[in-house]
Amino acid sequence: MGLTSAMLVGFTGIKSNQYTIDTVGDNVANVNTTAFKNQRALFETVHYTTIADGTAPNGPTQGGTNPRQTGLGSRLAALDRNFEPGSIEGTGSKSDVAIDGDGFLIVESPDNSQFYTRDGSLRLDAENKLVASNGYVVQGFAADSNGEIITGALSELAIPIGIESEAIATTVAEFDGNLDAGASLSTRGAESLTEPLLTAGGTASDSTALTSIVDDEGVALFNDGDVIQLRNIQKGGIDLQDSSFVVGTDGSTLGDFATFLQNKMAIDTSLTTADGQTPGVTIDATGALVVVSNAGEPNAISIDASDIRNETSGRLPFAFSTTPATGEGVSTAMIVFDSLGNPVEVRLRASMETRNESGTVWRFFVESTDDSDATPLLGTGTLTFDQDGQLVSSSGTEVMIDQTEAGSATPLTFTLDVENVTGLNFGNNASSLVLATQDGSPGGTLIDYQINQQGIIVGTFSNGRTQQYGQLALATFRNNAGLTAMNDNNYIVGVNSGDAQISAPQVQGAGSIASNSLELSNVDLSREFVNLITASTGFSAASRVVRSADDMLQELLLLAR
């Protein structure tokens, strides 16, 4: 090999190390680039000139010789991109996503070309479309109007922040809790009665006019137009809604007033207590006003003399003596929604009705002061539990609320889902019955969103409702290193990458989505500095070969002078 060839060999070394320096420079420049994947330069020999092939051993006295070859330098064999994932760092931005796996986000350019990227620094544009930092539109699976993800064809993803949602009427109210199997039985209701009410001619009855009832001195307790105010009457320890009765307008007899009380107290008169009481508000043979509640402490009526007042005269017309109810239970309130999104308050009162070798039976009453009927009582039902405290049957769980003056669809009908309620004895003599969830809501505005691990975009409304607005799609390839890198952190399909396999996150090894996070560059600066040192050393050494060959060539030229 001549000196000129030596110079060319040294030049290949310079060129090869230049590739390494270029690669290191690109890696270092992108050390803070989101999801950047570092490269390394790999080299191979160019060609060998064979001076002699070598010989094989010849007999016991002559050994073989090795081939004698001289190399002609090096050249770039490959630029290998390392697709090992970078670290994931939280950013706090709800539109940022990182891929914990091998997948790539799919974006579409303005000319409808498809690109793939690991850069999850996404944002919403002026049209509420989800786009990459370069403006390319993110592709995924859209959702229909009910929030169901439509898999298959890719489409752009939009999150319509600020959109108004319609009100949804409640159809199911789901309850959790435990009705204590150790509770005492509800055998009687609370009973309150007044002293005998008098008229000028004797004792009062149902048909007695309110204006005919007198006190011990013969003075009328009521006159036409008087307003009788009900205030602070309690049922199960909870205040009932205040109400008023106008004499001569809402009724004129004592029986009319008794019916008014019975309705406002939501007493179910169709059930007789175990002790033989008939619940309701009646006038007994002595002329006393008698209030008997349904059985159990949650239904017990507590009424004092000051709770019924003649607002017109300022008098307290009735004094009550009360016998308490028996039977522990539970009372719970909940809010459901009508078709206009109006909140409707509903209360459940439950107490144990029977207990035997088969299990327990609890009776519940449903009430709502938003019902337009004369009484808040909506109905009654039972929950039957077996020997293991598991619910085996229920009745009266279909609730209907009339709302003739609310402007909404009437009646509001929904189901009480009590499948998760148990009838066990926890040893604390305490029952619980709580609303776990209900499917109604008032109207609201889409104010926020999150992207979960499945890549599903979940919007949150001001009324607490949530709805799915699509799902990110991920692409995987048989050979990631075969992808062709483009600008803006994008890749396109290469001849050696294989076709893109499109799937949802957490499918086919695509990985899951880490929201509020970004993937960092996988560049290792310490390794890059080592590569830079070795490349610069190789570059200098190859340059010295060229210079030495040049010096030797100059010496040869001097011999010719």
Q: Are residues 138 and 196 in the same domain?
A: no
Tens of pLDDT, residue by residue over 267-320, are 999 999 999 999 999 999 999 999 999 999 999 999 999 999 999 999 999 999
CA dihedral sign, ordered 310, 314, 319, 325: positive
Residues 291, 292, 298, 304, Cα dihedral to 10°: 30
User: What pLDDT does 341 receive?
Assistant: 92
pLDDT > 70? residue 500: yes
| Contact criterion met (CB below 8 Å) for 334 and 346 | yes
* CB neighbourhood size of 314 (10 A): 7
Q: Are residues 244 and 286 in the same domain?
A: yes
Residue 123 falls within a domain, yes or no? Answer: yes
Tens of pLDDT, residue by residue over 167-182, are 999 999 999 999 999 9
Q: What is the pTM of this model?
A: 0.71
Pair of tokens at residue 203: 């004792």
How many structural domains compose the chain? 3
User: What pLDDT does 539 receive?
Assistant: 82
User: What pLDDT does 557 receive?
Assistant: 76
pLDDT (mean) for 386-398: 96
Residue 357 falls within a domain, yes or no? Answer: no
Element (H, E) at 285: none
Most confident of 55-59, 73-77, 307-311, 529-533: 307-311
Q: By percentage, how much of the chain surpasses pLDDT 90?
A: 76
pLDDT (mean) for 262-266: 97
Tens of pLDDT, residue by residue over 204-227, are 999 999 999 999 889 999 999 999
Q: How far apart are CA 210 and CA 213, in angstroms?
A: 6
- Token pair 């949602």 is found at 165
Nearest Cα to Cα of residue 514 among 85, 144, 128, 38: 85
Nearest Cα to Cα of residue 343 among 470, 528, 167: 167
Q: Are residues 92 and 22 in the same domain?
A: no
Q: Domain boundary residue among 293, 325, 357? A: 325
Collapsed DSSP state (helix, strand, coil) of residue 34: coil
More confident residue, 342 or 48: 342
Pair of tokens at residue 520: 């960092």
- Full strand arrangement of the beta sheet holding 238-239: 238-239, 234-235, 301-302
Q: Are residues 133 and 241 in the same domain?
A: no
Residue 409 falls within a domain, yes or no? Answer: no
Note every long-range contact of 112-117, with CB atoms under 8 Å and residues 24 or more positions apart, other chains counting. Answer: 113/492, 114/139, 114/492, 114/500, 115/486, 115/490, 115/491, 115/492, 116/475, 116/483, 116/490, 116/491, 116/492, 116/493, 116/500, 117/35, 117/488, 117/489, 117/490, 117/491
CA 478 and chain centroid, separation: 35
First to last CA, the chain: 24
User: What pLDDT does 2 receive?
Assistant: 60
Q: Are residues 153 and 27 in the same domain?
A: no
Q: How far apart are CA 227 and CA 429, in angstroms?
A: 43
| Contact criterion met (CB below 8 Å) for 108 and 114 | yes
CA dihedral sign, ordered 303, 308, 314, 317: negative
Residue 179 falls within a domain, yes or no? Answer: no
Pair of tokens at residue 107: 């974006």
Q: Are residues 221 and 296 in the same domain?
A: yes
Pair of tokens at residue 368: 């709502």
Q: 471 to each of 136, 158, 456, how far by Cα in Å?
A: 17, 10, 4
CA 553 and chain centroid, separation: 79
Q: Are residues 107 and 203 in the same domain?
A: no
Q: Domain boundary residue among 301, 325, 349? A: 325
- Average pLDDT score over the chain: 92
pLDDT > 90? residue 541: no
Collapsed DSSP state (helix, strand, coil) of residue 116: strand
Q: Give me the domain span that covers residue 216.
A: 189-325
Q: Are residues 321 and 213 in the same domain?
A: yes
| Contact criterion met (CB below 8 Å) for 208 and 256 | no
Q: Domain boundary residue among 504, 519, 534? A: 519
Q: Are residues 162 and 231 in the same domain?
A: no
Residue 305 falls within a domain, yes or no? Answer: yes
CA dihedral sign, ordered 204, 207, 210, 211: negative
Q: Are residues 95 and 215 in the same domain?
A: no
Residues 351, 334, 416, 261, Cα dihedral to 10°: 60
pLDDT > 80? residue 35: yes
pLDDT (mean) for 234-246: 96
Pair of tokens at residue 310: 């003649």
Listed in order, strand segments (DSSP E) in 386-523 are: 391-394, 398-401, 412-422, 432-438, 444-451, 456-461, 466-472, 474-476, 484-485, 490-492, 501-503, 512-515, 517-519
Q: How far apart are CA 404 and CA 507, in angstroms?
A: 52
DSSP states of 246-272: EBTTTBSBHHHHHHHHHHHTT--TT--
* DSSP code at position 464: S
User: What pLDDT does 430 receive?
Assistant: 87
Q: Are residues 35 and 47 in the same domain?
A: yes
Residue 407 falls within a domain, yes or no? Answer: no
User: What pLDDT does 561 receive?
Assistant: 60
Pairing state of beta strands 74-81 and 39-45? antiparallel
Report H helices in 119-227.
none
Pair of tokens at residue 385: 């539990």
